[in-house]
Amino acid sequence: MIDLLTIFVLAAFVGFEVVSKVSTILHTPLMSGANAIHGVILVGAILITGAAEGAVQLVLGLLAVFLATVNVVGGFVVTDRMLEMFKGHKR
């Protein structure tokens, strides 16, 4: 358990560090990209559905898989569309 806590603390520091110098222009795409990344819950949803016993667990799991997929796929696609707009306007 301490191992997992260590990972948590280190990841938190890295998370702060990595976005510390972002310009206002990129706030929206960054938020949207981060939004897609937390869709990684899809991994968890697949794991529990794969090990599901009984109908309730299966239904909950499949619903989670569906929703997480919407989060992941929608998040990355919409972020890419936003960033596409900036193409050709590099300083």
Partner 1 sequence: MSAQLAYLVAALCFLLALKGLSTPRFARAGNLLGAAGMVLAVVTAFVQGAVHNGLWILVAIALGAVVAVPAARSVKMTAIPQMVALFNGVGGAAAALVALAEFHDGGPLLFRIATVLTVLIGSGSFSGSLVTFAKLQEIMTTRPVVLPAGRVLSIGVVAVSLVLAVAVLATSSTALLVALTVAGLLLGIAFVLPVGGADVPIAISLLNAFTGLAVAASGYVLANTLLIVAGTLVGASGTLLTRMMAQAMGRPLTNILFGAFTATAVQVRGEEQRTVRSGTVEDVAILLGYAHSIVVVPGYGLAVAQAQHAARELVTLLEGRGITVDYGIHPVAGRMPGHMNVLLAEADVPYEQLKELDDVNPGMTSMDVALVVGANDVVNPGARDEPTSPIYGMPIFDVDRARAVVFMKRSMRPGFAGIDNELLYNAKTTLLFGDAKDSLTKLLAAVKQL
Q: Does 32 bind partner 1 (CB under 8 A)?
A: yes
Write down the least CB distance from residue 55 to partner 1, Å.
11
Binding residue count for partner 1, defined by CB under 8 A: 79
Of residues 33 through 52, those in contact with partner 1 by CB under 8 A are: 33-52
Torsion of CA 12, 13, 16, 19, to 10 degrees: -110
CA dist 60 and 57 (Å) reads 5
CB 81 within 8 A of CB 68: no
Instruction: Name the amino acid, one letter, at 14.
Output: V
Write down the least CB distance from residue 88 to partner 1, Å.
8
Of residues 71 through 90, those in contact with partner 1 by CB under 8 A are: 71-87, 89-90
